[in-house]
Amino acid sequence: MTPRRSVLYLPASNPRAVEKARTLPCDVVVLDLEDAVGPDDKAAARDAAVAALRQGGFQAREVGVRVNGLDTEWGDADLTALYAASPAFIVAPKVSTADQAAAFTARLPDGAALWAMIETPQALFHLDAIAATARMGALMLGVNDLAAMLRSAPSPDREPLKTAMSLTVAAARAHGLSPIDGVFNALDDDAGFEAECRQGRLYGFDGKSLIHPRQIAPANAAFAPSADDIAWAEAVVAAFDDPAHVGKGVIRVHGAMVERLHLARARDTLALHDLAGTL
């Protein structure tokens, strides 16, 4: 289990942002070679990402790179350059089919996982096959591109995207992957960001993609177990550990019936709390 509450994107071409990211308490850093980097800066950004990975020094538990698509003039060169740089994962943009995912998997650096961005309508009809791709580690919902392709109108509660959110989480959970919620663009809307984090957690996402360091703390708080979550988990574990309940599949805890599936979730909650506290 790896906490992925806060997944911060930053342009690999910005040395100041990369250096700042080494000091930030986000769970994951993504050095971006795609959307955040203009065509004229692609080669320099690629070299900078390789150098940053080799230098290391990030607080984040995982550092990966979002590469350009293999259908662009930069994607192949990105993966070639990163092969010996040891990223924890590669983010593949606009993965619409399992074949596209497999094309990235075939080029992954040793030890790296593949994180697929779900940001096209076509991807929604291939989620299970995409999630089943070898070395897949996470499904990342790309809300901006998906909303644009769906031609959906803006909505404060993301009404047009709720089906995509549920399907992405379901596909990820079915294959033991991390579902990561999409970005929130309104940097000055703190209340809106916190509300969207709560919504993402309600839907089952492990964490949220971020575009600014100021979003790290509220994301970490929203996707970490709350005090009530921890109290419930401790009560469930203690109840099943009680010698009086040995061998029982269903017991009563705080007036509610809980099963052993709840015990597994309780242990996961406590493990996540312990891991998050080590950063």
Per residue of the chain (279 residues), what is the pLDDT tens digit? 789 999 999 999 999 999 999 999 999 999 999 999 999 999 999 999 999 999 999 999 999 999 999 999 999 999 999 999 999 999 999 999 999 999 999 999 999 999 999 999 999 999 999 999 999 999 999 999 999 999 999 898 999 999 999 999 999 999 999 999 999 999 999 999 999 999 999 999 999 999 999 999 999 999 988 777 777 777 777 777 878 777 778 888 888 888 888 778 778 877 777 777 655
Question: What string of H, E and C letters represents the secondary structure of the chain?
Answer: CCCCCEEEEEECCCHHHHHHHCCCCCCEEEEECCCCCCHHHHHHHHHHHHHHHHHCCCCCCEEEEECCCCCCCCHHHHHHHHCCCCCCEEEECCCCCHHHHHHHHCCCCCCCEEEEEECCHHHHCCHHHHHCCCCEEEEEECHHHHHHHHCCCCCCCCHHHHHHHHHHHHHHHHCCCEEEECCCCCCCCHHHHHHHHHHHHHHCCCEEEECCHHHHHHHHHHHCCCHHHHHHHHHHHHHHHCHHHCCCCEEEECCEEEEHHHHHHHHHHHHHHHHHCCC
Q: Measured in Å, how far apart are the chain's first and last C-alpha atoms? A: 14
Tokens of 92: 């593949």
Query: Which one-letter amino acid corresponds to residue 176?
Result: G
Q: Quick one: angle between helices 190-203 and 216-223, nearest 10?
A: 30
Rounded Cα distance, 146 and 91, in Å: 16
Enter the pTM of the model.
0.89
Binding residues for Mg(2+): 119, 145
Rounded Cα distance, 116 and 36, in Å: 17
Instruction: Name the residue ranges covered by the structural domains of the chain.
Output: 6-223, 227-276
pLDDT score recorded for residue 279: 55
Binding residues for substrate: 66, 119
Task: Report yes or no: 129 and 98 within 8 Å, Cβ to Cβ.
Answer: yes
Domain 6-223 maps to which CATH number in 3.20.20.60, 3.50.50.60, 3.10.20.600, 3.40.50.1820? Answer: 3.20.20.60
pLDDT score recorded for residue 136: 98
Tokens of 139: 């499904």
Tokens of 95: 């993965």
pLDDT score recorded for residue 265: 79
Binding residues: 66, 119, 145
pLDDT score recorded for residue 278: 57
